[in-house]
Amino acid sequence: MTERSVNLEELLEHKLLWGDLLWEKKNGKTTCIGSCGDFADIEFIEKLVKKEANLKINSYTDWKLVKDICETFKSLESCENEKERVAVRESFVGPFLETFLSQEKGSYIDWFTICFRTFYKLPEDIEEIYYMKNSEALKRSMAVASMTTLIAFTLGHLNFDFLQKIYNCTLIMDLDFVIQGMSEYHMRDLEKQRVSDDPSLDGRLLSLFKHHGANVNEYINRIANGEQSLINMVKFHHEQFNCGAGPEGIFDSEVGDLPQIISFVERLIPYKSFNLSDGDATGSLTTHMEKIDGYHRIKSILRTELKGAA
């Protein structure tokens, strides 16, 4: 972690906070005005800058890793055939798996930032719904979208445009919750549900909106362009495919890999108290991973990919 001064121009350029944003007051006290992974509150920051406030940021981001992987994805966008795409993936697989399987380097804010800079293309009206109603839900959806997209790429979805759709479609998965008034109270309830891993979906909010993934077709079609695999991915993100538990009662043999990936990640990423700035955030993810049905299958596939890229 490094702490340094930060100016308005930098914050406008990045949009997403790459560390905790601190306001160092004249009386010597420091107040956190934005957490790692939040969108910068530019309107408030501009007011502070006019008063010549001293702003600092605790950066947890490995900018070399971010730069390298962003360039990797940029090269993927210009690939003309599958052979070129496979070659690009080989340069990505090592750093990704070193972070999430061996924990040798990197943290979740690095990959969160990479995916935001590379894939984020949420329509402004949908973005506004999140801003007005529950920005924390957007941050959590971005965490799910990042991991879902990265695993999908690792497992062979190599088309840049399709990966971008995976990322942005995933951002919409809880939009119906948010529109219906999803609050911090509800997020705590959802977190209890996630930790208990109860297949009956008896949580107060989930019992009311079991089919919320299917209630966003109006929005998702604007991103998915009618691609059924993406629509199903969002629709089935609360399914537990190993036992047929969930709103639709579907088994893994009835769906493709994308719903299985997002279902896995949905149970992996906490709704509350997930600190992107924590240096061992990836370690906490790995701890959660081992408790989730389907983890060993995905881990074995990922390790096979790692060997293939070596």
- In angstroms, rounded to a whole number, what is the distance separating the alpha carbons of residues 179 and 177? 6
Percentage of the chain lying above the pLDDT 70 cut: 71
pLDDT at site 195: 61
180 Cβ contact list (under 8 Å, min separation 6): 208, 209, 212
* Contact criterion met (CB below 8 Å) for 291 and 268: no
Q: Enter the pTM of the model.
A: 0.83
pLDDT bracket for residue 193 (50, 70, 90) = low
Rounded distance between C-alpha atoms, residue 38 and residue 76, angstroms: 27
Q: Where are any strands of DSSP class E within 16-124?
A: 19-24, 30-34, 54-59
Count of beta carbons in the 10 Å neighbourhood of residue 217: 14
Higher pLDDT: 200 or 161? It is 161
Give the residue among 112, 120, 111 at the shortest CA–CA distance from 92. 111
pLDDT averaged over every residue in the chain: 80
pLDDT tens column, 218-270: 888 889 988 999 988 988 887 776 666 666 677 666 778 898 888 888 877 87
Which pLDDT band, with edges at 50, 70 and 90, does 274 fall under?
low
Asked whether the predicted pLDDT for residue 197 surpasses 80, the reply is: no
pLDDT of 179: 82
Mean pLDDT of 27-36: 90
Domain boundaries, the chain: 2-59, 63-309
| Percentage of the chain lying above the pLDDT 90 cut | 34
Compute the C-alpha angle 282/283/286, nearest 5°.
Answer: 90
Which residues, at least 6 apart from 256, have a Cβ–Cβ distance to it below 8 Å? 229, 232
pLDDT interval class at 303 (50, 70, 90): low
Rounded to whole angstroms, what are the CA distances from 93 to 37, 72, 99, 287, 304?
A: 23, 11, 10, 21, 11
The CATH class of the 63-309 domain is: mainly alpha
Q: What is the pLDDT of residue 59?
A: 85
CB atoms within 10 A of CB 81: 7
CA distance 117 to 46: 23
pLDDT at position 204 is: 52
pLDDT band for 287, please (50, 70, 90 cuts).
Answer: low
Q: Which two tokens stand for residue 75?
A: 């090269």
